[in-house]
Amino acid sequence: MLATTIILCMTEITLPNDGKASWRTHLQGASALIERMHQHGNHPSNSATVLLLARKYQALKVIALACGKTPLDRSFLTVGTGDEQAKIDDLAGYSRDLLPIFQGISALDKTLDTYDPHFVCEEAPGSPHFDYSSPLEHESHLLFDRVRRLLVKRAPPSGFSYSNLAKCIRDDLFLLDEAYHHMAILQIYRQGSLSVPYGIIEGSKQRILACLSSMTYCASLCPGVAALPPLFVAGCLCSDVVDREEVRRLLKVLWINFGMGNVIASKEILERAWKRQDAASNATVLRVSEALQDEYFDVLPY
């Protein structure tokens, strides 16, 4: 039943449709099934097959939390890879250390609801932050600092955990994992409030494009199949013609190799947002991320 639910969820996600889809219903169903297994003492790690399915569910749920358009139940049961030495989950494409980060990003709108005009942060912010003027900004900066620390600690996948993977695959995993770290920074910027120099945000966007452009893509199982989330998020902040062309080129690569309908849907969403941005009377004020707020879509770029 869990396998059927996840397959239905993946099928809905990859449809070329930017309207309301039922992938959320299937994802919530998978969540309920896994929770019931835990309640009955049947941990996913007891079965290699169930563990694989649970890891796939976790990867989907995390991206839904980080990139989903509308609110989603934020609670999920953390599932290991079955190998505690493997820092990068080769099924998801990013470090397990990012799981609580993405969960925290999805909760930033909760912080918005608790806005306090009299908020005072007793602890002075360190570089590169300017100040903490609200609970939202404070929480955003805490998440930002955690991601930056994780970036410094990253190490290429090596050892027994990845011994069955070719070096080119390990290299691509490392690049993809970096792209996901920078995606987290961009999502904190988009969904939260950061008072950091814009050059830092621009740098993260450029690193995503550079990492994804350096990867190898082929029409089979490879890390590139999980490249859409960071590419879409970077595209949301592209106002430069050259950057947009690179996003289009990479989307085309993903479409040709994997044929996922949500690649087409993601391109259509970005193209409409870019057009609105260019038509705005003050394009320096209207960011693509703001233009997307009026978009009626429920695509999961995964």
In degrees, rounded to 5, the angle at the alpha carbon of residue 154 between the alpha carbons of residues 88 and 87 is: 25
pTM equals 0.83
* Higher-pLDDT residue of 193, 53: 193
Residue type, 138: H
Is residue 302 in a domain?
Answer: no
Is residue 69 in a domain?
Answer: yes
Is residue 300 in a domain?
Answer: no
Is residue 200 in a domain?
Answer: yes
Is residue 14 in a domain?
Answer: yes
Which of the listed ranges 26-40, 130-144, 282-296 does the model predict with the highest average pLDDT? Answer: 130-144
Residue 125 confidence (pLDDT): 61
* Higher-pLDDT residue of 103, 39: 103
Is residue 79 in a domain?
Answer: yes
Q: Quick one: tokens of 76?
A: 């999920």
pLDDT tens figures, 60-86: 777 777 776 655 554 555 555 444 444
Alpha-carbon distance of 131 to 252, in angstroms, equals 41
Average pLDDT over residues 226-243: 93
Is residue 299 in a domain?
Answer: no
The number of domains in the chain is 1
Residue 89 is given by DSSP the state E
Residue 286 confidence (pLDDT): 46
Residue 82 confidence (pLDDT): 47
Is residue 301 in a domain?
Answer: no
* Closest residue by Cα to residue 57 from 90, 91, 94: 91
Average pLDDT over residues 139-144: 90
Alpha-carbon distance of 295 to 291, in angstroms, equals 7
Count of beta carbons in the 10 Å neighbourhood of residue 237? 19
What domain range includes position 103?
Answer: 2-294
Average pLDDT over residues 154-164: 76
